[in-house]
Structure 1
Amino acid sequence: MKKILQLVGLGCILPMFLASASLAETVVEKVARTGFLTVGTRFDAIPYSYVNEKGELVGYSMDVLERIRKRLETRLGRPVTLQMVEANQPGEKINLIRSGDIDIACSTAFTWERAKVVDFSISYSISGIRILAKKGSNLSTPQSLIGKRIALVPTSAAVDVIKLVQPQATIVTTYSTVEEAIKALKTGKIDAIAGDSISLAGTILRDNPQAYEIVPEEALANFGIACMVPEDNSTFLDDVNYAIVKMMQDYITNDTATVSQIDRWFGSQGMVPIPPELLKGFFAFKVIEHAQINPQEAK
């Protein structure tokens, strides 16, 4: 009887041990085993990640992820495929990362609160909190926001910023996406939307950009856009950062393919134009902040 009980006990413990071992698997080990890098991303976030008219998932963040995929292929010596999971809000992405359902999520603003539970890559873009309103609304100062109904996506970085900048504004968090908030703006249910200025500029491209303005000229707060990965995955995070720095270095050194790729989103004729000197300055700072990559090593 004692032996039977011991075997039964072992039978209970073994599945628990195997589950624990599975949870302990790093992202690189998982990708080496399966050949898939699972990504949590929005499908409607212009210019970061969105479905184009051909039904393809494209965007600046998708280009970054493609470079990360290639870097993993180089490390592992095997094909790696990006597996996409739709995840719209930062909180949702964080939960999926912590549960192991996704390996990485990009297009996310860094905050110290989020960094308590996930690790962030270096920033590959910089944006800021600004106000989207109907043209001529005159909402470019904190004082002008007093009593105004400002829509914010509930888990966005804009919530705390608007509360700080103008505590007398009426914050509306009933809209889960910027697209929903724009519909409310059109019908007069709200006065403005606060959020990531690049994302706001990209979103109105599907509407009528001339009917809106994004103010003020100088953002109410600035933040970096980066990728989130699970904690305690230093090898994977190194590969993510390497791929990002390599992209930036290629742009600075005028690599034709890279310049063309980034100009598609942020060039003078791109979706959300950014002055090239600002973009190069930001990239140069991030490269110097880490380390330049030997061109021979990168081949």
Structure 2
Amino acid sequence: MDDLLIGILMKTRSIAFVGSLFALAALTAQPVSAETSMESVVRSGKLNAVVIGDELPFASKSDAGFKGLAINVVAAVKNELQAFAGKPIRLNALQVNSVQDAKDALLSGKADIACGVAYSWERAMLVDYTIPFALGGVRVLAPTGNDGTPASLAGKTVGVIKDTVAAQTLATAAPQANYVSYDSPAAALAAMRSGSVDILGGDSLWLKANKARVAANADIVPIVPYGRSGVGCIIPENNSTMLNYSNIAIGKILQGYVNDVAPVQTMVNRWIGPGSAVNLNQDLIKAYYATVLSTAAQLSLR
């Protein structure tokens, strides 16, 4: 009888032990790897691209769809992915109001890429950046006579776009100014146009592209920006294939511009080059693009 009880007890303990092992395995089992953005694009034949705001030079909406430098860059990325996949890839634009919304769309899996985003060290902890295709600088659009220095901004009300590199940079560099944050680029420009604020802080390219329609007589100051940052595309982390092909697409644009490839120069100049609202010197753009390429490698265009 004692032997029988001992046997039953040992069997019960064995069952309990095995059950514990199964429970432990369930707790420690690794989840099945989620589909990467690249895999999703190839499978679905669709590239979900975030369009931030509705303001040039990076993106603007018209009856025919979206246009702007960032849109052209996304189209170039799509073409590279299409060649890789060996099948047509459709570009699907998802419009959001802010960089924060764009980041959220990427992190949630709703979007695969967003272009026209200024580099931020904090943001780079959550998403991956491509090489840049433009260089931004933090400045302000201010009435003539205000030189944009911290002393001239002290006590003044300055409009900024919420959660942007420009807003953070200005708050640190000119802390005595009074800042009003707007949820989107469109809202910030509307405030400037209506006179709700008479000083607007932001990226130099964005300010130049929109100056004529919101404050034609204002100046973009100071002469030396408060800070500079590259402007590129962001994609979800750990998508090396997507990142590589995105960099190749941007690299071809940069190399084409440096090599005087007419269609490429025409495309870039339309948004930021000679004759555009931004009106950057072509040699200046070439020099910057050559510098970016020198940090990686020049491309042989075919």
With the length of structure 1 as denominator, give the TM-score of the two structures.
0.86
Q: CA deviation at 1:217?
A: 1.9
Q: CA deviation at 1:208?
A: 5.1
Question: Which of the numbers 247, 255, 270 marks the counterpart of 1:249?
Answer: 255
Q: CA deviation at 1:165?
A: 1.4
Match status 1:204 vs 2:214 = no
Q: CA deviation at 1:74?
A: 0.9
Query: Residue 151 of structure 1 aligns to which amino acid in structure 2?
Result: G
Aligned residue runs from structure 1 range 1-299, under 5 A: 21=32, 24-52=34-62, 54-134=63-143, 136-173=144-181, 175-205=182-212, 207=213, 210-295=216-301, 299=302
Number of residues paired by the alignment? 277
- Whether the 8 Å contact between 2:53 and 2:98 is mirrored in structure 1 is no
CA distance in 2, matches of 1:246, 1:215: 33
1:9 corresponding residue in structure 2: none
- Whether the 8 Å contact between 2:190 and 2:214 is mirrored in structure 1 is no
Q: CA deviation at 1:55?
A: 3.3
Query: Residue 240 of structure 2 aligns to which amino acid in structure 1?
Result: S
Q: CA deviation at 1:87?
A: 1.5
Superposed CA deviations along residues 105-157 of structure 1, whole A, max 9, x for unmatched, are 111111110011111111110011110123x2414221101101111111111
- Whether the 8 Å contact between 1:179 and 1:203 is mirrored in structure 2 is no
CA distance in 2, matches of 1:83, 1:182: 27
CA distance in 1, matches of 2:78, 2:91: 7
Decide whether aligned partners of structure 1 residues 130 and 294 sit closer, same or farther in structure 2, where only a CA change above 3 A counts: same
Query: Residue 94 of structure 1 aligns to which amino acid in structure 2?
Result: K
CA distance in 2, matches of 1:188, 1:51: 24
Q: CA deviation at 1:181?
A: 2.9
CA distance in 2, matches of 1:203, 1:238: 33
Higher Cα Rg, which structure: 2
Superposed CA deviations along residues 15-67 of structure 1, whole A, max 9, x for unmatched, are xx9xx65x711122111111000011125120101113x43311111111111
Query: Residue 161 of structure 1 aligns to which amino acid in structure 2?
Result: T
CA distance in 2, matches of 1:48, 1:221: 19
Decide whether aligned partners of structure 1 residues 122 and 112 sit closer, same or farther in structure 2, where only a CA change above 3 A counts: same
Q: CA deviation at 1:213?
A: 1.8
| Structure 1 stretches lacking a partner, 5+ long | 1-12
The CA RMSD measured in Å over matched residues stands at 2.2
With the length of structure 2 as denominator, give the TM-score of the two structures.
0.85
Decide whether aligned partners of structure 1 residues 75 and 137 sit closer, same or farther in structure 2, where only a CA change above 3 A counts: same
CA distance in 1, matches of 2:194, 2:82: 49
- Whether the 8 Å contact between 1:178 and 1:200 is mirrored in structure 2 is no
- Whether the 8 Å contact between 2:193 and 2:214 is mirrored in structure 1 is no
- Whether the 8 Å contact between 2:136 and 2:231 is mirrored in structure 1 is yes
- Whether the 8 Å contact between 1:251 and 1:258 is mirrored in structure 2 is yes
| Structure 2 stretches lacking a partner, 5+ long | 1-25
- Whether the 8 Å contact between 1:42 and 1:50 is mirrored in structure 2 is no
